[in-house]
Chain A
Amino acid sequence: MNHLKLVIKEIMTEKKDVFLSVLFGFLAGITAIALFGSSGYLVSKAAFAPPLYTLAFLIAGLKLMGFARALSCYGERYFSHRATFTMLSNIRVSFFEKLEPLAPRIFQKYRSGDLLARIVGDVESLQNFFLRVFYPPIILLLVFLSTIFFVAFYSWWIAFILFAGLILTGLVIPAWFARRQKKLDSRIRESRAELSTDVTEFLYGFLDLKIYQKLQGKKQRLHDTSNRYIAEQEREGKTAMFNHSINSMVSFTVSWFVLAVGAYFVTAEQLDGVFLAMLVMISLTMFENALPMAVLPGHLEDNRRAAKRLYSVVDEESEPNTIIEKKLPAGQALSLAFQEATFTFPGEDRPALKEVSVDLPAGSKTAIVGPSGSGKSTLMQLLLGVIRPDKGKILADGVNLSEVEQENLWAKINVVLQENHFFYGTIRENLLIADGALTDKDMEAALERVELDHFSLDDAVFEKAENLSGGERQRLAVARAMLKGERLWLLDEPVSSVDVLTEKTIYEHIFSLAKKDTLVLISHRLTGLENMDKIIVMEQGEVVEAGSFKELMEKQGYFYEMKQIEKNVLM
């Protein structure tokens, strides 16, 4: 229920539309009752051959009400749907806004197909919350009470029956359905998410599935998932139909009682027979407003689940907002320092980094080397401020990174990650991410530096850049980082899939651009590190050695040994 409160909050931002939908809903309900009630009265009256003018008057009134009703229906639908869909769009945006700060951690908890299912399917299902859960009871109550008030002028008994009908259809039966619904334990939202997740993975892993001949098996599993989803939908559909019928059965029965009791009173001469038809017509029409109550419990349960799925993703991890508003100086190379920084990934026993202490002066060029899994990329993530050390500090320009506003930090860094993402679109769109104000000339120059000048800016980039070769993707990422033009470079194996000749040219460009900048480079190749100011050697989360190439070679330690291995395989 808690999560639904958030949905209600979103609805309430559209106050005007909400008010208008309730108003028109009420008008539509009440005019319909007046319409059918008076038509019942009309024929009964007509049976006594009254003067023609009363009849004409009544008929004119009827027409008027008819039009009023049609227009109110229109108004109700229009405003309620507008409110609903604006709300959905707001929910989507706020979901994304809350999701964004949680990346990349969130992906270790949720799969992208699942998140997609939440933002599309679950949000979509919330449209029923306003339309079928939130305001129908309000209208029901308003319409019923005013009608019962009116009927009470004619017969207390019938008013009482109608009131009993209200309690029955508005309260007792929905409560019963709600209990049934709980027991039913619909897994419609979950099974939809499962299908969405599996289909997404099927599409993303297509090449591997194909190579390993697993497409058929996976497809079969998707069928099964889909059938489970459809079965859930079918069960829901049937339950809704059942509830609907029970509800109308009860409404019919109540109207029948009105007729029977009315008939009895007429024969007992306690009620004027002229009103009998009117009262029954009123009752029949009135209960049309109770129809939505039949499907309300189902939707409520569904919405509860949807809201929970939606908001549980984003509300569990709100970081305590400590002072993180410091800014780094702009336009100058920054110095970096680790002071006994220790970091352990959540849920791990072993720290990924142990008491790392290094100093990287402003304008220095540092290489980080070490075996796979030794913590190089983790070090980079700490520098990027996406993870925070458990112990110790990381300083940029003497400021503790934990106190620096993240956006401000990122704005100062040219970064190439070990895995880079490219968006579906064109080369231009992917480069413009670096800086929206770039001219085509800038971008073309950058492409030339990374030897991608055979591409035009308008060339298509497929999803995940599947139409670019591995090396081309890396080079595009380097071009993007170059275009950002900031003074701190963090490069995580930027050219590992690029041939040595191209690698050489790219490094030349990078180093000439970064001449006065601070640069951190993670590399597996040990050749060409001679000119770096500092080499940091990592192993199992610890810095085992640090120093210039010459120092490390003289020391004849870990780096020296690695260098020997490399020499052996190269010569």
Chain B
Amino acid sequence: MNDLKKLAKAHAHDRILLFIIALLTGVMVIGQAYLFVAAVDRIFLQKYSFLEVLPVLLVLLAVMIARAGLTYWSGRTGVQMASKVKRDFRQSLLNKYSRNPIQASFQGQSGQKVSVILDAVDEIDSYFSQYVPQVIQTSVVPLMIIGTAFYHHIYTGIIMLITAPFIPAFMIIIGLKTKKKSEEQMDEMAAFSGRFLDILQGLTTLKFFGRAKQQHEAIRESSLNFRDATMEVLKIAFISSLSLEFISMLSIGIIALEVGIRLIVFESISFFTAFFVLVLAPEFYNSLRDLGSAFHTGRGSMGAAKKVSEELTETEQVVEWGDTPFRYTDKPPVIELKEAGFRYKEEGFALKGISAVLSSNQQIAIVGRSGAGKTTLLHLIAGLIGPTEGIIEVDGRSLFSYEEAGWFEQLSYISQHPYLFAGTLSDNIAIGTNEAATRYEIERAAEKAGIQELVESLEAGLDTAIGEGGRGLSGGEKQRVALARAFLKKPSVILFDEPTTGLDLHTERILQASIEALAKNSTVITVAHRLHTIRNADQILFLENGKLIAQGSHEELLAGNQEYRNMVASHRGGIAQ
């Protein structure tokens, strides 16, 4: 995937077509020069009558039109080839990003990724739409011209043969730098996108801290950096065409001089031949020069392609799932953690040696101070991250021996910061299940989540657009919309990460009832800060600093754990002043 040259080779069909077009173009170029010179010669020197040259002129017209037609055909073929390649590249990128484990998905800036998917892939276009057709064109047409020159006037041929290699040599020297510079340019572009998107998300925060104006500077700087990076690339391109121009100018001059001297001083060639090679010479060098600029664009594309393939080759430890079907039974599965642990990085926070049996149909509460690892533990149980030590078993087999889709089908997980997608309320709830949900079911779910009142107050009801570009909701309302997702399907395992933060007691009671109803047929694992949620749990897992320091029922923990007693006591305290 990473080698554009190889990719271009893969499109053999198009290349053959381009080759044929190039051959035909060569014929037209030479034919055009020939007929043009012939017409001038006949009229100017041989004094033919107008009617006698008319046939030559008509053929010339046909040749010129055919040449334009061939240009179109060749360009069209290139454009099609470019489309195919871009499609493949973007497909691979999307595949890669969608397979990313969640840890990797948090890395880097979203704007940068967007830039790679959009801009870098678009940048590859010109390699196929311009460079490849031009390379084929240039490997055919100049050869044909040189052949013709040799045939008509050997010295011109020799001069062409000697001067021509300077052009590719120059191109290569300059082109080498281009690739690096355009990589830098792509980087600047991605950096700009990344920064802009981040600033956009945090614009409100920035304003309140009086930093928004400063961001103008940041954007300006970032944008000017991008301009400078672009100008760097372009300057090379311009210098390269300037030098190519000089070389071809010089060469054409030498040819003209040689022909002129022979024509006048030695009178050893005819006007026809002299004029003919003089018309051909610019065509010859133009073709080489066009290759020069196409080469430049091509190198630019290679820079972009490198960026894309770097993104593609970055390996992530993907969580590997097995293929045992996860069967739905009336009884929720038993989940067992055996010395399970997870660490994010070499050092820093780690969840260590968690052993617990989460029996079928139990209500389990995970408690602990902020940063103790509760969310991490939920991720682990959900199979979103693979344990770096120990194992997790579900119904006696490793969780990861099951089919991924089957497991998630049986699972509901309302995360701590659920994302609301741009779409209607109903869409946002329906995302909770893979089956088509009926309107009635969605309404019921909304009711269980306690947003019925809100829905009723809205003119468009469940069809109100929310999320980005839609109606704003209060913090608690957002939370409840996300919760409604869980009430849509009947999962056997439900994970809630602080489902009732930011909700008032009244709303919370509605939810509590709904959750209890769900719990009749499933295992409910809740991360909770509120005492009353904790108290009703069958089993409490008490985490501290990544370790499971106690487990059992509320009474057991009250009796046996000082930390726990402290926590309960402070629940009754509250804000001190």
Contacts and interface: CB of A to CB of B under 8 A. Distances in A.
Interface stretch (B38-46, B356-364, B393-401): B38-46
B83 A472 contact: no
Question: Which 3 residue pairs across A and B have the least CB separation, nearest first?
Answer: A528-B574, A471-B370, A372-B476
Contact of B260 (A42, A74, A200): A42
B64 A256 contact: yes
B165 to A, nearest CB: 20
Contact of B98 (A195, A215, A260, A492): A215
A210 B102 contact: yes
Q: Which of B40, B71, B87, B506 has the most CB of A within 10 A?
A: B40
Contacts of B209: 410, 433-434, 480, 484
Interface in B64-99: 64-65, 67-69, 71-72, 75-76, 79-80, 82-83, 86-87, 90-91, 94-95, 97-98
A46 B98 contact: no
A147 interface: no
Given A205-B421, A277-B275, A421-B205, A67 B480 contact: no
Contacts of B468: 107, 110-112, 201
Interface string A69-82: 11101100110011
Interface string A393-433: 00000000000001100110101011111111000000001
Nearest to B531: A570
10 contacts: A44-B275, A55-B264, A112-B201, A112-B468, A116-B196, A202-B97, A206-B100, A276-B40, A424-B194, A529-B574
Contacts of A50: 264
A502 to B, nearest CB: 5
Interface in B21-78: 36, 39-40, 43-45, 47-50, 53-54, 57, 60-61, 64-65, 67-69, 71-72, 75-76
B538 interface: no
Interface string B190-221: 00111011111111111111111101100110
Given A59-B253, A377-B474, A469-B370, A570 B532 contact: yes
A566 interface: yes
Chain B binding surface SS class = helix
A507 interface: yes
B416 interface: yes
Given A121-B118, A211-B415, A246-B68, 13 more contacts: A43-B271, A89-B224, A104-B203, A204-B110, A207-B419, A241-B75, A274-B44, A372-B502, A372-B504, A406-B207, A480-B209, A499-B529, A524-B502
Nearest to B113: A203
A128 B281 CA distance: 32
A238 B83 CA distance: 11
Contact of B249 (A63, A114, A423): A63
Given A207-B419, A212-B432, A433-B209, A92 B219 contact: yes
B189 interface: yes
Contacts of B198: 423-424, 463
Interface stretch (A2-10, A176-184, A322-330, A342-350): A342-350
B13 interface: no
A266 B54 CA distance: 13
Given A219-B95, A531-B575, A531-B577, A199 B432 contact: no
Interface in B258-315: 259-260, 263-265, 267, 271, 274-275, 278, 282
A499 B369 contact: yes
Interface string B238-250: 1101100110010
Interface in B371-406: 371, 374-375, 382, 384, 405
A372 B79 contact: no
A15 interface: no
Contacts of A420: 205
B110 A500 contact: no
B447 interface: no
A511 B476 CA distance: 26
A248 to B, nearest CB: 5
A120 B408 contact: no
Contacts of A410: 207-210
A218 B98 CA distance: 9
A244 B75 contact: yes
A416 B71 CA distance: 63
Contacts of B45: 47, 273
Contact of B256 (A39, A67, A210, A371): A39
A208 B418 contact: yes
B121 to A, nearest CB: 8
A493 B506 CA distance: 17
A377 B44 contact: no
A562 B509 CA distance: 12
A500 B570 contact: yes
A475 B252 CA distance: 74
Given A93-B219, A371-B506, A253 B79 contact: no
B204 A104 contact: yes
Contacts of B122: 233
Interface residues of A, number: 177
A70 B246 contact: yes
Interface stretch (A136-144, A161-169, A221-229, A296-304): A221-229
A500 B531 CA distance: 10
Contacts of A81: 230-231, 234, 238
B65 A253 contact: yes
A511 B576 CA distance: 8
B471 interface: yes
Interface string A238-280: 1001101110110011011001100110111000011011001
Q: Which of B39, B194, B210, B238 has the most CB of A within 10 A?
A: B210
A497 B574 contact: no
Interface string A107-146: 1111111111101110000000000000000000000000
Contacts of B118: 117, 120-121, 192, 195-196, 199
A528 B95 CA distance: 52
B117 interface: yes
B235 interface: yes
Contacts of A266: 43-44
Contact of A419 (B79, B211, B475): B475
Contact of B36 (A49, A108, A280): A280
A116 B118 CA distance: 11
Contacts of A274: 44
Contacts of B49: 267
A365 B111 CA distance: 41
Contacts of B72: 241-242, 244-245
A318 interface: no
A39 B278 contact: yes
Contact of A345 (B264, B382, B472): B472
B419 A204 contact: yes
A405 B431 CA distance: 43
Q: Which of A66, A422, A469, A532 has the most CB of B within 10 A?
A: A469
Contacts of A52: 264-265
